[in-house]
Structure 1
């Protein structure tokens, strides 16, 4: 069978990729949904795959992804080989009985009962995945079971939203913002924008390029994860520190206490005084830890190093010491929060790619606003557990400025 199909160059390497979790995200008009529609049709035509395609709400499917699949079939000249049932939202390949099934996540009982007429569901594609809840997608992942001659896949496609979304937390721990592709054993992530769509009309390109709203330009034109306004820290970046960390021999550690709603947050750091660079090397970010369990987790990261803790919990500090952690209280003092923020803003901060929670906090930590939208010099006390831990751990760096004097017999350290 000769098939007339034209595929954007950016997506060609993924036409037959079998990685379990596949994320296609980026800006508007990047062609990701149409590529996935083309791939779906070709996969079903080949005779080994059945697709379940979902959106958060059922009534949005017919005018979106169902139409995209239909357009792909027509564009490739394959209409005679497919039965397109618009009322039931089922597309069946007449050559092999493989199917493309559509459901909304607002009807969980129907999702449970969806079964193709031949074989099992091999692929679940969640369109506009940022609309969905983590629990719903987790259940879909569990639907991928049963005997199949091809590897099963969970596919998410979306425009990015704010970085506190569960998708970012779940899949983007290894993502680097200066790249457009990530792969590991189980996950691939491809970022595309309108520039990757070879078939986009010029007026559509111009509309995206001339977007004046900063958030919409970042998200829908550039395909970046959005950030909240009035962020405090802009002096940071993410790097893979797995090699350079082997050269460090001095460390600072800070711990902010939590339990149920708020996490226990530990920051493990190195400071290069000469280059005024703070490296965030490792993190602990866990809830529901009693102090004995917390001590065990802390020691896994810092061993016998000293950790500076939130001084508002002296009992916890004492118990950590009893459990073998060299814990000391932070001194804090008047205006210590803003003092610490000011010091951190004057450093270059490099966060290891594995410290996803630290990255999220630096992206979201912002100043308060008054009712008129004016920025106040007071940080919002939210999403700052690791940032507080970092301030505690760097307290001695902030408050000690020392010079060395040699009187001919011995050295003295003099505070100034």
Structure 2
């Protein structure tokens, strides 16, 4: 306000903490969320809350807390604006980083760094410190100064990229594979549609079905409608579900599992040049792949083991590409021999 030379048009007090625009009586209200009741007890003399700003978003406990605030504030108006500002946490598993990759038509994500503002705003010492860290530890520099989600060093897949895939591009995919991981109450059912470019060693994931409490009957009807001639490879640990889908006319068989099938499948995916996922078409597959991390020991250190959670779409991809993986495994054994 002072910078805009509008100090005379506003009145600020500290108890309660608020700023009033004297010409209209409109107010800027400040609240800490240590006590959620503070927000619920707001009573406005007129109008409604039209703009909400969450500062240091990553310091909140999660989207449930944010939703509770918005449900209390966004009432009785025609238009609302919600701003969230924060420095991205390092871990891809942080709730903020998981939330921001969820596509919403009413959301705009803007990323800016110290390089986007006039140099005099920060001073030369700031730039000196940034350059020093860049030369000393580029990964830390990218996180602390460029706001990149660099990860904790425990990401299982570092070859995943988002790619917007048009209907025309998807229509030109030739080598198609389909995988299905069963689930119901706690774990969701996950189906994925995949194109694999063997020559370039590139995986393209372009469609998904990801839902809890989806019966085999409803799943079968969806598959028959959308992929009537597709051959699916599903989790062989669910022979009853496979049989039910077959009775509905779905072309499906179980994946060939072995003692090392999970490890081999994940390492095979890790060794692909790129795993392209359209996060608009497949938000859940994208989220799983970019947030999947190795297990940790009691000291919090990463170990070379894969957690069996939040990996339903990943499992579906492994099943879908089972034939390709089995072929590559046989070729590798033949070469070794």
Q: What are the ranges of 5 or more consecutive residues in structure 2 without an aligned counterpart? A: 330-336
- Aligned match for 1:399, one of 326, 332, 336: 326
Q: 1:202 is matched with which residue?
A: 124
Provide Cα deviations, 1:172-191, integer angstroms capped at 9, x if missing partner.
345xxxxxxxxx85221110
**Structure 1 position 268, deviation (Å):** 0.8
RMSD: 2.8
**Structure 1 position 122, deviation (Å):** 0.9
Q: SS at 2:194's partner residue?
A: strand
Kindly report which structure 2 residues correspond to 1:331-346, keeping only aligned pairs within 5 A, or say none: 331-346=256-271
Kindly report which structure 2 residues correspond to 1:78-97, keeping only aligned pairs within 5 A, or say none: 78-97=6-25
In structure 1, C-alpha distance between the alignment counterparts of 2:114 and 2:251, rounded to whole Å: 53
Q: SS at 1:187's partner residue?
A: coil
Q: Is the alpha carbon distance of 1:103 and 1:301 closer, same or farther for their aligned partners in structure 2, counting shifts above 3 Å?
A: farther
In structure 1, C-alpha distance between the alignment counterparts of 2:220 and 2:142, rounded to whole Å: 41
Match status 1:287 vs 2:212: yes
Q: SS at 1:308's partner residue?
A: strand
Provide Cα deviations, 1:224-260, integer angstroms capped at 9, x if missing partner.
2352323222223111112421211331011112223
Q: 1:390 is matched with which residue?
A: 317
Match status 1:145 vs 2:78: no
In structure 1, C-alpha distance between the alignment counterparts of 2:212 and 2:151, rounded to whole Å: 25
**Structure 1 position 399, deviation (Å):** 1.4
**Structure 1 position 401, deviation (Å):** 5.7
Q: 1:361 is matched with which residue?
A: 288
**Structure 1 position 219, deviation (Å):** 3.1
Deviates most, 159-168 or 184-193: 159-168
Match status 1:129 vs 2:57: yes
In structure 2, C-alpha distance between the alignment counterparts of 1:383 and 1:185, rounded to whole Å: 25
Deviates most, 329-338 or 111-120: 111-120
Match status 1:308 vs 2:236: no
**Structure 1 position 371, deviation (Å):** 5.7
Q: What are the ranges of 5 or more consecutive residues in structure 1 without an aligned counterpart? A: 1-72, 175-183, 403-415
Q: Is the alpha carbon distance of 1:134 and 1:301 closer, same or farther for their aligned partners in structure 2, counting shifts above 3 Å?
A: farther
Query: Which has more strand, going by share of residues?
Result: 1
Deviates most, 339-348 or 137-146: 137-146
Deviates most, 101-110 or 388-397: 101-110
Aligned residues: 321
TM-score (normalised: structure 2): 0.84
- Aligned match for 2:160, one of 213, 223, 236: 236
Q: 1:347 is matched with which residue?
A: 272
In structure 2, C-alpha distance between the alignment counterparts of 1:228 and 1:322, rounded to whole Å: 46
Provide Cα deviations, 1:349-368, integer angstroms capped at 9, x if missing partner.
21113222222222233334
Kindly report which structure 2 residues correspond to 1:9-408, keeping only aligned pairs within 5 A, or say none: 73-132=1-60, 133-142=62-71, 143-147=73-77, 151-161=79-89, 162-174=91-103, 185-198=105-118, 199-211=121-133, 216-242=140-166, 243-299=168-224, 301-348=226-273, 349-354=275-280, 355-368=282-295, 376-400=303-327
CA contact (8 A) 1:280 1:351 kept: yes
**Structure 1 position 376, deviation (Å):** 4.3
CA contact (8 A) 2:155 2:294 kept: yes
**Structure 1 position 281, deviation (Å):** 0.9
